[in-house]
């Protein structure tokens, strides 16, 4: 049964209302709110994947990214990559009522064969062995801890994204957001790093190619950190365009530069610290959309990290919920034009427990066309660094020059 039936009425064309949308009244969060949704024939075509076990991924009592140590004054606290930064996104989606307008994708466990699409058997076996230790282990760089039994969480997170890919190609959903944990874009084929154990986004790309015969894929990464693992996996693969928009040399500190082009399909956009919405939207307009137009992918993946947001403790960029929403809208329009709307987002970083939920809600509202909540921190849209600065403009121009390398 369509939940809009009998409740919807046409809305007048207002500047604040997306065109050709309809509205239905409901009661949410204890007060009357106005739900705005897309036309009936596209209603509830957005998938959403999350599992409560993701919140059980135990990153320990680290102090940020360092283990507690009384000898140097590091008091036990919690890792930057802790449960609240993801769990609170899910809770807001539920409490706001947005969950009722999304198609839940039930995750499954990824198989070892699927993990081997990207990772070595040595790495898989290492993670399994670390997972069996009484106190858990580390993914290989001594800053990516996890608890006993973590392997089961990791393969469910990967499998959930693969289920979303299946749902897209079966025509059950048009787009989707996988609220996966832990993140994945730093994980290399033979080693985890930077909180990432398995590179779930890259596995999903390879899975789409193997299972559905996809010939061309485009990956956009707006996490504040360089997507080094994704770049490594596809560096010499001209069937996949990878575009990483990141704060220049934040993490990893070596690499992520414009001259790293691989087979010609890798584009890095390293931005100096401080860039806000206009810098990111210009990157989308001048680099990402032209890349999509030239390459014409069959599906678009987005490594969605909210650590490029204005309130993140690890990054020094200034994107707001409005910026993420507008980037999502532009990518949806491009996906509609070139790949039948196929757009899969998978969660990466984002370490502001109070603002990541607002950003996640904004993106999923745009994906689904159901608008329930505004950004309560929208004063950040007026910060001076939201304007494009000349340093970022010059950096974007350098990356734009790489478009000529892309195959047509």
Give the model confidence (pLDDT) of 278-335 as tens digits.
999 999 999 999 999 999 999 999 999 999 999 999 999 999 999 999 999 999 999 9
- pLDDT above 80 (res 15): no
Task: Supply the DSSP symbol for 268.
Answer: E
CATH number, domain with residue 300: 3.40.800.20
Note whether 334 and 168 are within 8 A (CB): no
Note whether 224 and 186 are within 8 A (CB): no
Residue 5 covered by a domain: no
pLDDT at 142: 94
pLDDT at 234: 98
State pLDDT tens for residues 345-394: 999 999 999 999 999 999 999 999 999 999 999 999 999 999 999 999 99
Residue 3 covered by a domain: no
Tally of domains within the chain: 1
The percent of residues in the chain predicted with pLDDT above 90, rounded, is 88
Task: For residues 256-282, give the mean pLDDT.
Answer: 98
pLDDT at 65: 86
pLDDT at 355: 98
Among the listed residues 35, 57, 123, 186, the single catalytic one is: 186
Residue 125 covered by a domain: yes
CA distances from residue 406 to 66, 237, 263, 265, 298 in whole angstroms, order as listed? 40, 12, 9, 6, 15
pLDDT at 44: 55
Query: Which H or E run includes 146?
Result: strand 145-146
Residue 28 covered by a domain: no
pTM of the full predicted structure? 0.91
State pLDDT tens for residues 212-241: 999 999 999 999 999 999 999 999 999 999
Residue 38 covered by a domain: no
- What is the average pLDDT value for the chain, to the nearest integer? 91
Range of the domain at 175: 43-405
Residue 22 covered by a domain: no
Indicate if 225 belongs to the active site: no
State pLDDT tens for residues 138-168: 999 999 999 999 999 999 999 999 999 999 9
Residue 7 covered by a domain: no
Residue 294 covered by a domain: yes
pLDDT at 29: 43
Q: Concatenated DSSP letters for 327-367? A: HHHHHHHHHHHHSTT-EEEEE-----TTTHHHHHHHHHHHH
Cα–Cα–Cα angle for 135, 141, 142, nearest 5°?
40
pLDDT at 64: 87
- pLDDT above 70 (res 3): no
Note whether 158 and 114 are within 8 A (CB): yes
């Amino acid at each position: 049964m369509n939940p809009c039936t009998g409740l919807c009425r046409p809305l007048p064309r207002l500047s604040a209302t997306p065109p050709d949308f309809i509205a239905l009244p409901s009661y949410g969060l204890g007060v009357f709110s106005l739900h705005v949704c897309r036309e009936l024939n596209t209603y509830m075509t957005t998938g959403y994947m999350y599992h409560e076990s993701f919140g059980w991924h135990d990153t320990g009592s680290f102090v940020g990214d360092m283990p507690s140590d009384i000898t140097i004054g590091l008091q036990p606290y919690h890792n930057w990559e802790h449960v609240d930064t993801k769990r609170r996104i899910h809770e807001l989606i539920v409490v706001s009522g947005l969950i009722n307008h999304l198609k839940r994708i039930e995750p499954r466990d990824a198989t070892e064969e699927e993990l081997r699409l990207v990772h070595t058997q040595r790495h898989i076996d290492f993670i399994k062995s670390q997972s069996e230790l009484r106190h858990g282990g580390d993914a290989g760089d001594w800053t990516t801890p996890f608890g006993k039994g973590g392997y089961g969480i990791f393969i469910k997170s990967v499998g959930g994204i693969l289920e979303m890919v299946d749902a897209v190609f079966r025509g059950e959903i048009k787009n989707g957001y996988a609220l996966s944990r832990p993140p994945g874009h730093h994980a290399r084929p033979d080693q985890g790093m930077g909180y990432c154990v398995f590179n779930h986004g890259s596995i999903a790309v390879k899975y789409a190619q193997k299972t559905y015969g996809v010939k061309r894929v485009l990956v956009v990464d707006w996490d504040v950190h360089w997507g080094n693992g994704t770049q490594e996996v596809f560096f010499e693969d001209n069937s996949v365009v990878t575009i990483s928009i990141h704060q220049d040399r934040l993490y990893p500190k070596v690499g992520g530069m414009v001259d790293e082009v691989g087979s010609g399909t890798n584009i890095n956009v390293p931005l100096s610290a401080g860039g806000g919405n206009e810098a990111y939207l210009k990157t989308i307009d001048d680099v990402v959309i032209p890349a999509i137009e030239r390459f014409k992918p069959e599906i678009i993946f987005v490594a969605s990290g909210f650590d490029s947001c204005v309130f993140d403790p690890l990054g020094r960029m200034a994107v707001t919920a409005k910026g993420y929403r507008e980037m999502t809208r532009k990518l949806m329009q491009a996906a509609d034009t070139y790949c039948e709307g196929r757009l899969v987002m998978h969660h990466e970083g984002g370490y502001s427990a109070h603002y990541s939920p607002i950003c996640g809600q904004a993106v999923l509202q745009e994906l689904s066309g159901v608008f329930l909540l505004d950004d309560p921190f929208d004063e950040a849209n007026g910060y001076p660094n939201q304007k494009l600065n000349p340093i970022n403009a010059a950096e974007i121009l350098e990356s734009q020059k790489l478009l000529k390398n892309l195959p047509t």
